[in-house]
Structure 1
Amino acid sequence: MWNCRILFPVAVIKMKDSVVIFGAGAVGRGFIARLLSASGLTPVFVETNAQLAQRLKEADGYIVHVTGAEKKECNVSGYKVFTPEQGEEISKALAKCLFTATAVGGRNLETVARIVAAGLSGASERRSRPLNILLCENWPDAEKVLAGALLAAGCTEENFACVRCSVERMVRGAENGLDLIAEGGQTFYVDRRTWKGEQGGVVCGVEGFTFTDKIEAIYARKLYTSNAGGAALAYFGYLSDCHFLYEALEISEIRKNLTELLNVAKQCLIESFGLDEAGLERHLDELLNRRFPNRDLADTVQRVARNPLRKLGSKERLAGLVHLLRNHALSTESVSCVIGAALHYRDPADAESLELGRIIAQQGAGAIMEDVCDFKRQETCFEECLEFYDYFL
């Protein structure tokens, strides 16, 4: 990692300095806003859910219950909340903020682009520097998607920077209103190379924020270990009638397959990105022995398994890992097994899972392999996935 304190001398954060956060969901307020608030910055939420926005406005604050090795409670207060209809207020916030962040989900980035474009063009006070937008999205090429949408909405490249980030901490809602439960030990990685302007020192002054010039490697580590491992627990757990991920982990065969997947992913990450083996070993140990078994987080099979068509995409956590493994002549069997299980996932409340079932019923599982995963029929992984699909029938 780069020492951002050398690249960007740490700026003095003023009490009135603010950061605009698009999305007041679990990650937006439970991770980003918590770190900003702890560092003396004012979070300014832009939230499309009017009911949630109103609840936040009426509340004095909320508590983030941090779980893990060090349990603590963090109070977040003093924030502001706007809805997209409050265009003038958003324009003023964008004109003054140090930077912005998104935590809305990849499908909603075009909405963010429209709000930002309107805000930048409609502000009575113009920004004197480019607007850096940190993308905290679990979505392939999220920064390119948003940049394209901003240009289409009338912004110019000189006015903004879409900065890729990697957030690898689980946050979920608590039973008590706006409160949340979050993992501790958080690190928010920010791509140094795409940041514009001289305000990098502000990022360095925020608790948990770290600049890096290896964001691709860090994101790949997250995608092919944390995300792929979670998918394995979810899809195997579904077939085993588990409700929580930790229940699936307690089944010996599932844990065995997960361990095999993580080990081959580790080797692939070393060969592809030159990541440190000892560091990866510590990361995998944390996943297997602390994060996935964490009952406080109580991550559900339904949440992690949802949207299977997206998660089976060629650049995603499973098929993307298979493509990378093939490039290094490493075994794809443990990942193909997860894909075979994923093809069986059905949830009446999940439209993608129902569409997955419809495609398989009409065209066969091979259609998913070709059109979604981008596997060729002559490839070993294609046949592996179909064999595991049949095995789970």
Structure 2
Amino acid sequence: MSCVIFGAGKIARGFVGHLLYLSGIDFTFVEKVDALCDLINTRGEYLVNILGAPEKNTIVKGAKALKFADGEAISEAIASADCVFTSVGGKNLPDIIPYLAAGIAHRTKINPKPLNIITCENWKKPADLLHDGIAAMLDPATLPFFESAVGVTEAVIMRSAIEATPDLLEKDPLVVNVQDFWKFPFDASRTKAPMPEGMIALEPISEFTGFLERKFYTYNAANGTASFVGALLGHKYIADAAYDERILKLLDGVYTETATALSKKHSFPFEEQWAFTRTSLKKLQDRAIVDYIERNARDPMRKLGPDDRLVGSARLCLEYGVIPENLAVAIACAIFYTQPTDEFAVALQTLRETEGVEAVIEKVCKLDPAGELGRLILQKIDLIRKWGWIA
């Protein structure tokens, strides 16, 4: 049994690779950064440090990686793999499509067995992006095999992977600090082959769209609230922000708004969704997860997008008759996020200071400043100014 993992970052090493290793399944990373490949191949192992549960720490042995320059070897690995995973970051998915297409074409010739490709990305519809991109690159002779025997599906990654401390990195530059979370939910409806036999933590989900929305509009909306409000109030760590009474009050409001909308949309009991929000809050408040606000708030222009964690959640609420009062406060705070080392935060600040907050609402959030949500956000900007959170 062997698998291929595109990407060798923290989630690839600290979640996908970790679970495969514990399941006794051989795997190979495919990584764009040559220096990281060299490090993996030289060291051959790395530590997965389970935050708050050191007795579960694991040294993953036998680690190996292929470089993007190793095109033939990558095709061979895909052709013989029992499963392929991706963990490259959503914006990098187009970079791996040619390798996947070449590997599938090679597979049809030497090992025409069904295969699953599972995306492990925090990105909108990553499986569709990969499927369509691969299909566009395949010749007419290979396309029928791809459509009938290759399942391109997606997983929800709910385990956080955090940058290790300098002292740990000095001992092992590949070490990954991860949350003590052991579920791997994936969209079972799109698979075309059996999942890797014996792989632990697998959780097949048949109604994946509802599950994905539930996670996104609960976990991501709360994370965005804690991150952007926390940044404005001077916090450095997510957990500290999540214990701030001012932010905690907002979080409870955000959870109530999203839980109400999700319960209406998917027809499950509010109490069940509220219990789900408690798992989100517990994660945010877990001080064992030393997670920086700066990391979570990175790229605020994307995170203020119309379908992303804050504006997307607020739009969902309005669609189901819920006024997103607390989400609008979080959006107002995000509009005023500043971080000089983040080029997207600098671009956001420049737009805000040169063209005004209405321009941010229109050009970044893609909302009408005079519309219902646009007006609500502007009201909340006035409110946080009154509170002294912004000048």
Q: Would the TM-score normalized by the shorter structure come out above 0.5?
A: yes
Q: For 2:65, what is the secondary structure of its paired residue?
A: strand
- Deviation string 1:4-45 (CA, Å, 9 cap, x unpaired) is xxxxxxxxxxxxx11111111111010011111111111210
- Deviation string 1:59-82 (CA, Å, 9 cap, x unpaired) is 131121223578521221123210
Residue 185 of structure 2 aligns with an amino acid whose one-letter code is Y
Q: For 2:217, what is the secondary structure of its paired residue?
A: helix
Following superposition, the deviation at residue 309 of structure 1 comes to: 1.0
Assess if the C-alpha contact under 8 Å between 1:164 and 1:215 holds in 2. Answer: no
Assess if the C-alpha contact under 8 Å between 2:90 and 2:123 holds in 1. Answer: yes
Equivalent of residue 160 in structure 2, options 162, 170, 176 = 170
Q: For 2:49, what is the secondary structure of its paired residue?
A: strand
Q: C-alpha separation between the residues in 2 aligned to 1:227 and 1:187?
A: 17
Q: C-alpha separation between the residues in 1 aligned to 2:161 and 2:243?
A: 22
- Deviation string 1:99-154 (CA, Å, 9 cap, x unpaired) is 11111111100011022123333569633124321111111121222222212333
Moved more, 83-92 or 63-72: 63-72
Assess if the C-alpha contact under 8 Å between 1:28 and 1:103 holds in 2. Answer: yes
Instruction: Say whether 1:339 aligns with 2:339.
Output: no
Instruction: Say whether 1:310 aligns with 2:302.
Output: yes
Which residue in the other structure is 1:43 paired with? 27
Instruction: Say whether 1:292 aligns with 2:284.
Output: yes
Equivalent of residue 101 in structure 1, options 85, 90, 97 = 85
Q: For 2:3, what is the secondary structure of its paired residue?
A: strand
Following superposition, the deviation at residue 93 of structure 1 comes to: 0.7
Following superposition, the deviation at residue 262 of structure 1 comes to: 1.1
Alpha carbons of structure 1 residues 106 and 383: separation in structure 2 relative to 1, 3 Å: same
Alpha carbons of structure 1 residues 71 and 322: separation in structure 2 relative to 1, 3 Å: farther
Residue 305 of structure 1 aligns with an amino acid whose one-letter code is A
Following superposition, the deviation at residue 327 of structure 1 comes to: 0.9
Which residue in the other structure is 2:247 paired with? 254
Q: For 1:243, what is the secondary structure of its paired residue?
A: coil
Residue 296 of structure 1 aligns with an amino acid whose one-letter code is A
Which residue in the other structure is 1:366 paired with? 358
- Deviation string 1:225-274 (CA, Å, 9 cap, x unpaired) is 11111111111111111111112122211111011101221122111123
Following superposition, the deviation at residue 209 of structure 1 comes to: 0.9
Structure 2 gaps of 5+ residues are none
Q: C-alpha separation between the residues in 2 aligned to 1:292 and 1:67?
A: 13
Q: C-alpha separation between the residues in 1 aligned to 2:219 and 2:342?
A: 22
Instruction: Say whether 1:150 aligns with 2:143.
Output: no
Name the structure where helix makes up a greater proportion of residues: 2
Structure 1 gaps of 5+ residues are 1-16
Equivalent of residue 180 in structure 2, options 179, 184, 193 = 184
Following superposition, the deviation at residue 325 of structure 1 comes to: 0.3
Q: For 1:259, what is the secondary structure of its paired residue?
A: helix
Which residue in the other structure is 1:231 paired with? 224
Moved more, 359-368 or 47-56: 359-368
Identity %, equivalent residues = 27
Residue 40 of structure 1 aligns with an amino acid whose one-letter code is G
How many pairs align? 373
With normalisation by structure 2, the TM-score equals 0.90
Following superposition, the deviation at residue 312 of structure 1 comes to: 1.1
Q: C-alpha separation between the residues in 2 aligned to 1:321 and 1:96?
A: 42
Alpha carbons of structure 1 residues 158 and 362: separation in structure 2 relative to 1, 3 Å: farther
Assess if the C-alpha contact under 8 Å between 1:47 and 1:84 holds in 2. Answer: yes
Following superposition, the deviation at residue 296 of structure 1 comes to: 2.3
Residue 189 of structure 2 aligns with an amino acid whose one-letter code is R
Residue 118 of structure 1 aligns with an amino acid whose one-letter code is A
Assess if the C-alpha contact under 8 Å between 1:65 and 1:71 holds in 2. Answer: no
Residue 364 of structure 2 aligns with an amino acid whose one-letter code is V
Over aligned residue pairs, what C-alpha RMSD do you find? 2.0
Which residue in the other structure is 2:381 paired with? 389
Alpha carbons of structure 1 residues 107 and 43: separation in structure 2 relative to 1, 3 Å: same
Residue 156 of structure 2 aligns with an amino acid whose one-letter code is S
Assess if the C-alpha contact under 8 Å between 1:71 and 1:184 holds in 2. Answer: no
Q: For 1:51, what is the secondary structure of its paired residue?
A: helix
Following superposition, the deviation at residue 372 of structure 1 comes to: 3.0
Alpha carbons of structure 1 residues 71 and 368: separation in structure 2 relative to 1, 3 Å: farther
Following superposition, the deviation at residue 374 of structure 1 comes to: 3.0
Q: For 1:137, what is the secondary structure of its paired residue?
A: coil
Q: C-alpha separation between the residues in 1 aligned to 2:228 and 2:144?
A: 41
Following superposition, the deviation at residue 216 of structure 1 comes to: 1.2
Assess if the C-alpha contact under 8 Å between 1:244 and 1:298 holds in 2. Answer: yes
Instruction: Say whether 1:357 aligns with 2:341.
Output: no
Alpha carbons of structure 1 residues 172 and 260: separation in structure 2 relative to 1, 3 Å: same
Following superposition, the deviation at residue 317 of structure 1 comes to: 0.8
With normalisation by structure 1, the TM-score equals 0.89
Moved more, 181-190 or 103-112: 181-190
Assess if the C-alpha contact under 8 Å between 2:158 and 2:181 holds in 1. Answer: no
- Deviation string 1:172-213 (CA, Å, 9 cap, x unpaired) is 13232211111123211111111113x24x36x311111111
Query: In the TM superposition, what are the counterparts of 1:38-77 in structure 2 within 5 Å?
Result: 38-68=22-52, 72-77=56-61
Alpha carbons of structure 1 residues 317 and 71: separation in structure 2 relative to 1, 3 Å: farther
Assess if the C-alpha contact under 8 Å between 2:222 and 2:255 holds in 1. Answer: yes
Q: For 2:32, what is the secondary structure of its paired residue?
A: coil
Assess if the C-alpha contact under 8 Å between 2:79 and 2:106 holds in 1. Answer: no
